[in-house]
């Protein structure tokens, strides 16, 4: 049966497998395999070096801590230089691993930060939500861009300055 065929029925087995690789729908096996997968996350959390989980750019203590991940890195690093020209000390917490999330280290950094600004290329500040969920720390401001284009240095600088000067929790930028 093809998807959308009137009267068609598609039936499949679960994707669960036993230790020999055979498909099974047994409950006991499902529980065992889930525990095995979750143990792998714990092992990964232990074995992956901190440098692969996050990177702190700039001084250890700063007036302003920018937080981001992925493709925002280059524009954030460029924006840091410009923000520092105005006399601010700025650092950047680059999150590099989402699962398992480096919650303890990130929480320690953010709890010691004076002021935090999330820089994120999506509508819903997903990284900010993940950080709050995993650490209990809510970031002070969000600078978001969701017009389908990457951040520029200017947009980050303008967004950060707008968030700080206008005391806005969230600023959306776009030079479209």
How do the domains of the chain map onto residue ranges? 1-47, 50-172
Percentage of the residues of the chain whose pLDDT score is greater than 90? 78
Could you confirm whether domain 50-172 is CATH 3.40.720.10?
no
Structure tokens at 156: 């980050």
CA–CA gap between residue 23 and residue 20 (Å, rounded): 9
Residues 6+ apart with CB under 8 A from 23: 13, 14, 15, 16, 17
What confidence tens digit (pLDDT) does each residue in 102-114 have?
A: 999 999 999 999 9
What confidence tens digit (pLDDT) does each residue in 19-35 have?
A: 888 888 889 999 998 99
Q: Cα–Cα–Cα angle for 53, 56, 60, nearest 5°?
A: 140
Dihedral (Cα; 41, 45, 46, 47), 10-degree rounding: 90
What residues pair up with 120 in beta bridges, in sequence order?
Answer: 144
Question: Which pTM value belongs to this model?
Answer: 0.84
Which whole-number Å values give the CA distances from 158 to 93, 105, 152, in the listed order? Answer: 19, 29, 10
Check pLDDT > 90 for residue 94. Answer: yes
CA–CA gap between residue 162 and residue 176 (Å, rounded): 18
């Amino acid at each position: 049966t093809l998807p959308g065929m009137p009267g068609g029925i598609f039936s499949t087995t679960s994707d669960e497998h036993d230790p020999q690789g055979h498909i099974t729908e047994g409950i006991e096996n499902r529980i065992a395999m889930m525990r095995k997968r979750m143990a792998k996350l714990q092992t990964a959390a232990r074995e992956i070096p901190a440098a692969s989980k996050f990177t702190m750019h700039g001084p250890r203590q700063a007036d302003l801590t920018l937080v981001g991940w992925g493709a925002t890195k280059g524009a954030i690093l460029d924006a840091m230089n410009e923000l520092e020209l105005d006399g601010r000390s700025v650092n950047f917490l680059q999150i590099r691993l989402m699962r398992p999330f480096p919650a303890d280290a990130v929480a320690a950094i953010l709890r010691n930060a004076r002021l935090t600004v999330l820089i994120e290329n999506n509508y819903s500040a997903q990284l900010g939500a993940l950080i709050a969920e995993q650490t209990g720390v809510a970031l002070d401001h969000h600078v978001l861009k969701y017009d389908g284009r990457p951040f520029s240095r200017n947009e980050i600088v303008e967004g950060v300055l707008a968030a700080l000067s206008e005391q806005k929790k969230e600023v959306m930028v776009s030079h479209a």
